[in-house]
Each structure stands twice: as structure tokens, then as C-alpha cells.
Chain A
Amino acid sequence: MIIEETIEEKIWEALREVQDPEIPVLSLVDLGMISQIDCDKSNKVKVFMTPTFTGCPAINIMKTMIVMKLAEHGFEETEVIIDTENTWNTDKISEEGKQKLIKFGIAAPHKKSCMVEMSDLQDVPCPHCGSSSTTLRSPFGSTLCRAMHYCNSCRQSFEQFKPL
């Protein structure tokens, strides 16, 4: 039992080193994209990943990154399975992940996914100066998961990881 726990922990540790290609300060674990891991006796690993957006173009590269990273950590055979049963939403981003996002200059999604209304996208705190006097410019941004806002206080545009 004890041995199995350490192996699982080793896998999670390796996964924590796999960064999101679009937001390189966040790992796939911070994002809550890994829904389950599994390792059999012959060290064959299965990683279940739930994509953030259906049309995310980074899915295949992330699969490759996971396989390579686990190989670095001594797991020669890894299969990444797209988990379609567990739906990802922004509540799955860890608190630590949200703090990292803000430091990176992207406003964090607030906790109430699934109930997103237009008003939830107004007055998003600016990641640069903290002001809440901000305006939504567009619910779409440089990647599928971001919206664009403008801060009326520091007069800067900023992006938000939009709640989903």
C-alpha cells in the first residue's frame, strides 16, 4: 500500500511540472485538468485529462507533454485518455492556480461557473492595480479561455480567465 501511494505521488509530482502551453505559469494540475491517474504493477500509467474548452487546440500537444514528462520521471509507458464524463469548469482551478494567474497579469475567474451572466463579467478586479472599476470589452480574447477587459483606474487593458 505504502509503495503504491508513493508511485501515485510521483506521478502527480511529474504532472505538476507539465505547464499549460497557453498560460505557462500554470500546470495542468493547477488548472484541475487531470481528473484521475492510474498505475498498474508494470508501471504503465493512465492519465485522464479533461479539456478546458471543447475546441482547445492544445489538447494534442498537452498529451505529448504528459507522456514526455512522465518518461523523464521513469514511467516509460503512459496513455493519456480524454475524460468526457467529468466536465471541466473554472471552479476546478486551484486557489494556488488563481493566485498564479493574477501574478501573471490575468484576472482569475470567480467561483460560480455554470451560472455565468453578463453581469458576472463586469467589474472584474484589475490584475495590475486591483481596481474594480473595469469594463468588459469582449467575452473573447487571445485564447478561447480568455475575455478582454479595460481598467478605468489604471487605463490598461487586461485579460481574464473567463468563468465557465
Chain B
Amino acid sequence: MKTELLILTLSAPLWAAKVSVYPPKVELFGRGATQVLAASLDDEDLTAGCSLASANPKVVSAAGSVLTAVADGKTSVTVNCKGQQQAVPVTVSAAGEAPRLSFVKDVVPIFTMGGCAGSNCHGSIRGQRGFKLSLFGYEPEVDYEAIKKRIDLRDPEKSLILEKAVFQQPHGGGFRFAVGSLEYRTILNWIRDGATYDSEGSPRIASLDVYPEERLLVGVGATQQLVATARYTDGTVRDVTHLVQYSSNNADVVQISPDGTVKALQPGETAIMVRTLGKAVASRIAVIERRASKDYPRVPRNNYIDEFVFSKLHRMNIVPSGLSTDSQFLRRVYLDTIGLLPTETEAREFLESKDPSKRAHVIDRLLERPEFAEMWALKFAELFRAGTREAGAKGGRIVYEYMKRSFFENKPWDKITTELLLSQGAHMFGRAPASFYNISFDSNAPDHATNISQVFLGLRIECAKCHNHPWEKWTQDDFYGFAAFFARVAIKEAYENDENTHYYKEEGTVEHPRTKKPVTPKYLDGPEEQDAPEKDIRFDLARWMTDPKNPFFARAIVNRMWKHYMGRGLVEEVDDFRVTNPPTHPALLDAMANDLAQNGYDLRHLIRAILNSRAYQLTAEPNESNRGDEINYSRYIMRRLMAEQMLDTISQVTGVAEKYRGYPPETRAMQVYSGAPHYMLSAFGRLSRDIICERDHQPDIVQTLHLISGDTIQKKIVAKNSTIEAWLKESPDETIIDRIFLTTLTRYPEDAERARIAASLGDNPEAAKRRGVYQDVMWAILNSREFLYNH
């Protein structure tokens, strides 16, 4: 070993980067056991260009990038790459034994790898042609029952399971593997051995890892060898690179071969999903054309968020857009933070201010405004589906006002969450959000588990209610274990006028639909929790959820906040965290989650950090470098105003309030906590709250037509109490033009705009004509993208 190290040291230039090999040591168990070795230098995969040399071919042989066990013993394999040599220790054991083939470890993965156990084939809910496999092999015992009906012990080669796979019999799924292939031989030998199911207590897969977890490929055609490793419940480890199924989340960016070789096709980012035996992991792959040159600009950092964002942009060789103008920033931060535009006075003061800290100051002021609290109250009321059941608008208002008060007081997120989890009481009375759990007719625990995991943990586990999660690791046991925390959350009628109340009843369990037995509460990815009489187990749940070590809680709210202000979640969809849907900036997500938890779950602290970052304050205008970038925050992501922002700002700038059915006059759309049917709000994406759902901000023709020819804008512009009427009475033309632009677009008109309006006004002092011109200008602006979008 010393000699090998010496060789490595001497052969490598002192200044050269070191080639790394994965895995750094190899353990092979059983006759013919194999291991793929992957070598890389920085981001460059060298596997294909490396040669392997076994120090003792009688123990282990090397061919290509694969080592194969020959005999028991210890030796090493030297990896020769780029003039460097790396020694990898190898241990071979039980090579003399032909290990009895395991149905679980050897046979089931073949059906996953071959795509047979996928959701569009035999792994679907109904299976295919009467042959039903569990999704990605998560229930081997079920698979065994299905497969054993399709084998012939007397004539194994005639087994239907083989003949279909090799297409010797008609097969809707076509050819899966060849006669004589490793897959074929494995199944055939297993049948010849008696086609038995594994004995009780035989090892099961415990985890699946993929190497590398993240890789940057430089240049189209660059490759990367993936290595998949399974760890079993008996502690053994096995290279399953050839036994897993690979798929690319974006096949336009990279291609993945069945042996785990990734090939770059075009610049972009994606993930390769790796699945077997009900386990799934992902390798994040980014492709760039070329590395950043020395001319890459130095981008200033305002805080740690910028460090993460701009470092990645540098790595991806994407140059961010420049800093937004004061006008762009002010309009943007007002809309994003309070849902309104700055007033004319606020705009003038900000634009004229020379204070270098004026952006930070305005952010601080906005976070103190009640409208900030109202915006988040509405967003959460929608997520909580407040007001949708019999508590109606009354219950909806209580939930909304609770969230509004909480945000206004800057109540920590862990405290809000705990209060909501523990909420109970009459739905329509008091100030506590008693109708938080009022989302299903019978207040059932599975519904609560679904909603709470999605909203607070960013996990969509609902699929596991009926079957193990198709894309993730969650099983039915996980789902019902989590649901059991809500087994005693119940609804009853209280008082004498048919009022309903939620309460924590004295007894109650959740029954597992498969076993028909009561389920013990169990944390997601965590241990069980024992329930007991007079114990409110939701306290324990709240403690677990809000613990800074909880892997989901802080990240989920960080991602939600990030998406609101930055236009795209670090994880998309915002509530769909899963291994196979990795974040674009995992380190940034971790850093912000950690920052939030370390600062007492102070949401304003988090929001302040985001808003003060240069990343937030970039202009929305793309440059040549970042035009194609959609996910790295290299510019501000333009988006259409949400329905309430749009209606409130139209009302704000025209000076004519909208009236909402059931709500007092002067109510803004952002204060409409539930109900109040309104065409424009619905057309622009307000949700019905039937399910937890994110809003669609995409524009469509209905919206466009409503803005152009609907009565919302037109009525307000021509109203007798409009701002234009007020301005006409008190201001000269020059001032009115400025006022229109400042109130709607937070900027002064450009010379060309000013000239064109002046030309329309002409020298005609007639009030009616002037009024008409200003109304036209206002109409045009309110229908412009510059007004309708935040940018």
C-alpha cells in the first residue's frame, strides 16, 4: 500500500487536481459479484478513459470499469487516469459459493430495471393483462404471488415470465431482454433453484444511494458514469448499477443508458431518477457549454443568499442581469410585499431620495404594514381552505384574521404551526382558528395527514393513502402512521343551535386499511410515538415538526416564501419535496432553513434577507448569457399579478373601490377572506379551495378579453369619483401625466410618451377632451404588460 501511495504521489504533479474514484474501497460478496468504478476529476467524468489493473487477478478481475470477484482475498485495483494512479482496496469474500438467488434482491429488481413494474405497465393500479406487479417492487411478496403463476418448474425455459420478456410469446411490452442475458440467466436460475420466496427474516433493501449526487457536465457529449449502491437490512452492501431503472427528468438535457451512463445533450439542468425495490434516489445533472472565463464579471453580494445564487451562476457560466432601477425595485417590492402600488407621494420620495440604504429602509417599512399581513393571511387562508365547509365565511374570517394577526405581530412560524395543530373549539366563535381542521365532513385523520404534510412539510403523501407512493419512499404504513396523530381530532355539535366544534376526543385510533389493525402514530422518517389517555399527542407532533432538526419543516416554508418573492420555488412544485424532485439550490435551501430556525422561525427575518439580496433586486431584463435560464434566478422572474393584486391596484390607481358581495364597502380584494363570487378574481386564478392547490399565474385569452372589453377597468376609469376627475380639478396637464405614470408604473413618463400624450391633448383646453385623453392613457396603461406584470 505504501508503494502504491508513493507511486500515486510521485506520478502526480504537485499542482494537479487529484482524480477521485468511487467507491474508494470495494467489498465483493459471492461468486461473480461485480462493482462499477467511476473516476472523475473535478466535474469531469473520466471513467470511460481510465484503465483498471488488478494487483491480484486471482482475487478480482477488471474489465472496462467493472470489477468481478474471482476468489476470496484482499487486494487492490489501480485506476490509471490522466497520468494519475489511484489504488482502490478490494476485499472479496464467499467467492467460492454460488449464492442462492434471492427473489427480493435479485429477481424483483429486474422487473423494475426493465420497466415492467412501472406505473404505466404492470406496476399500474390494475396491472396489465391480468399481471399486476407492485410499483417499482415495493411489495415483493405481492410480486411473488403474481410471478409464481407464470413459471414452469418442470421446464423453466418455458416459463411465461421468461418467454414474454424475451418476446417468444406476444407481449404488449415488447422485448425486454435477450435469451442468455444476465437478467434472463438470473430469473432462469432462480426458477431452476425452485423459485422459492426468500425465507422469513431474509434481508431487505434498507437504502439506495447513487453516485454522484450532483454533477456538472461541461460541453455537449460529456458523460458521467452513475454508480448505484444498495444497502440491505443485514448490513451488506451491493453494487446495483446494473439492476436499477434510470430515467431522466428532462430527456432533452441528458440521456441515460441502462448501464448508468449519462450523456449531455444540451445546456440545462435535470435529475436522473434511480429506482429499485420501491426505493428511489436522484442524481442532479447540470450541463453547460463551457466553463466561465476569467472575464466573468464580479457580481456584488448583498448577503449570504447572493453568495449561493451567484456562485452557482458562475459555475454554470451564466452572467446575471444588472441591478433593477429604483423605479423597478420600488414597484416590485410594493407589489410583492403588500400587494399594492406605492402612492404618488411614496414614489416621488423614494425616487428623489439619495439615501444609499433607501431600499433596505423601504423593505423594513413594508414589512410593518398591515397589508403585508393581509397578503399572507389570504394566501394561507387559501391553503387551509378556510371557509369551505359549514363554518362558511364566518370560520373563514376567523382563520384569515388569525393569520393576519400572526403575520402582523410577526409571530414565529413554529408558534403559528403549533397553534394551528393544536387548534380546537367552536368554528364560528372566538379568535382561535378553530375551523382549521374543518376540511372534511367527518373530520377524518387521513385528510388531516394529507393537508398538514403538504402545507407544513411540503410533502405530498396522499398517494400512499391507497398504495405506496409512486415517486417517493412513503409507504402506506408511513401515511397511516402519520394520520394516527390525528385519530382523536373530532368534530361534534356544540351549543343548542347546531354549531360545530372541533375537539380532541378522549379515545380514537386510525385503522390500517390493509391490516385492519389500529396504527401506532409514527413520524415521517422517524420513530413511533405512543398515545395515551389524557395525552394530546399533537403536542409531540408539533414538537417534532418544529424541531430545527426536522428535515422538512423549515425547508417547506422557506421554499414557499422564496417562491412568492423570487417567482419560482427552489423546489417546484412548492409543496412537492421528494428525493426525485431535488431543489435547484440545495445548499441555499439548507442555509435559509438553518437561518430561519436559528432566528426563532422569524419569517420577517427570512423575507428581509430575500428582499435585500441582490438576486431579488436584479432587473427582469435578460442578457445574452441568461436568456435561456429559467431556474437559476439570474434575473427577476416576471409574473402576472395575482388576481387580488390586480384588482386592488386597478382600484387603487383609479380611486374607485370594488364592491364584494357580502363584504363591507372599502374592502380590498386581499381582504376577501372567502366566498364573494367575483368574475375577475376567478378569471385571474382565485381558487375555489376544493383542494390544496397552487395558483396558476399563466395569462389566458379570457383574462385579456376581460381587461380589454370587460367592465372592471372601463367603469372605474370613467367613474365620477375617479382619480382622473380629481386631478382634472386640481392639476395642470404636465402634473397629471406625471401622476398617471407614477401611480400606475412608479416611474415618470419617458420623453416620447410625454410628447405623444401632449400631442393628443393639443392646445384644446376643453375639459371633456382632456378627460378623454387621460382616460385613454389610463386605459392603455392598465392594459399594458408593464402594469399587469410585476417586473
Co-assembled chains A and B? no
Which B residues contact A (CB, under 8 angstroms)?
none
**Partner-B contacts on A (CB < 8 A):** none
